[in-house]
Amino acid sequence: MKRATIPGGFGGRLLPAAPKRNAFARAGGCAVESLEGRTLLAATTETFTGGKGPFTSTFEYFNNALYPRGISDGFETIQLTTGLPFQAVSLKLTHMGLDVDPLLAYELVHGLVVQAASARPKNFVRVDMEGSPYTQRTLDLVRELHRKPEGCGCVGAVIQSYMRRSEADIADLLSDGIRIRLCKGAYKEPPAIAYQGKREVDASYIRLMKTLLKSGVYHGLATHDESIIREAQGFVIREKIPREAFEFQMLYGIRRDLQKALVRDGWRMRVYVPFGTEWYPYLMRRLAERPANLGFVVRNMLRG
């Protein structure tokens, strides 16, 4: 069998070559495609962990709001992660049919959470954040799921630091002990509800980050920004916060050098692995919403 190294993989592990990869995968291993993508995904799981490696991973399925296909693929995703330690699946509610039938979307995500909770060791479902029209509905659903016995500790939310409401949202989520993934935000939002300048967004991120790190709940700091990473490291050391109390998170194939350096220095590192057939509509939609996203990807791929 012809063999090849996964683009963006760690350690040069040789894996079966897929017959076709999309352009995004060739560019840096950020997304993999269709049927062969699922094979590649399973191999990527072994590359990251093999049940014992230093990297943990979260799989995020690309689906273009075609929820019937998202149902089966979403459950397949959680099956792929079952049995591997510290694995997780990330999903968007619109991909689970939120715009078609909110009750159905809730039932689908609840089913995934039940599967995650029943796995040994337990898995985790991260409900990703989308644009502002979905913010409150997303947070309400996460809190409702977390209140259920099977959801406690197995479902979490994402907060975007550029949203002016995020400080209040974090306070609400922490009151329920919900795990949070903190990111800067990638959707174009108006100034009335979102910070526009990098300095403001970064300042908000650092402020929210400190709240999360001191909360006693396990959170994820999603950033490729080295200045923010250094700020987090310094804060953790000064406040004597255990390194195992949180994790850094980055995209698969982006700043691999920085990912390896963090692990080498004893910090926890999670790699997000987007996959699925609908990578192209997803990519075009995100670039149309905020063209600066393209610059971020290109700059960081060239660096790492």
User: Which residue did the predictor score with more confidence, 1 or 218?
Assistant: 218
Q: What per-residue confidence (pLDDT) applies to 116?
A: 85
Highest mean pLDDT: which of 68-77, 79-88, 162-171? 162-171
Active site residue 265: no
Place of tokens 């099977």: 150
Active-site option among 38, 73, 126, 128: 128
More confident residue, 230 or 14: 230
Q: Give the DSSP letter string of 34-82.
A: HHHHHHHHHHHHHHHTTTT-SEEEEEEE---S-HHHHHHHHHHHHHHHT
49 pLDDT tier (thresholds 50, 70, 90): very low
CA atoms within 13 A on the CB side of 289: 16
Structure tokens at 294: 């393209």
Mean pLDDT of the chain: 75
| 51-62+80-303: CATH class | alpha beta
pLDDT greater than 80 at residue 48 = no
- Top mean pLDDT of 30-39, 77-86, 231-240 is at 231-240
Q: Where are the alpha helices (DSSP H) in 97-249?
A: 102-118, 135-147, 166-175, 198-213, 226-238
Overall pTM surpassing 0.85 (yes/no): no
Q: How far apart are CA 285 and CA 132, in angstroms?
A: 15
* pLDDT score for 45: 47
End-to-end alpha carbon distance in the chain? 30
List the Cα angle 297/91/146 in 5-degree steps: 130
Q: With residue 14 as reference, give the H or E element that holds it.
A: strand 14-16
Mean pLDDT of all residues in 96-106: 90
**pLDDT tens, residue by residue, 235-259:** 999 999 999 999 999 887 788 889 9
Q: Which of 21, 179, 181, 256 is catalytic?
A: 181
How many Å is the Cα radius of gyration of the chain?
A: 18
Lowest mean pLDDT: which of 144-148, 218-222, 227-231, 280-284?
280-284
More reliable by pLDDT, 161 or 283: 161
Q: Residue 7, preceding bond cis, omega within 30 degrees?
A: no
Q: Which amino acid is at 140?
A: D
101 among known catalytic residues:
no
Question: Per-residue pLDDT tens for 175-207?
Answer: 999 999 999 998 889 999 999 999 999 999 999
pLDDT of 284 above 60: yes
> Strand, coil or helix: what is 267?
coil
8 A C-beta contact, residue 286 and residue 293? yes
Q: Which residue has the higher pLDDT, 134 or 16?
A: 134
Residue ranges covered by each domain of the chain: 51-62+80-303
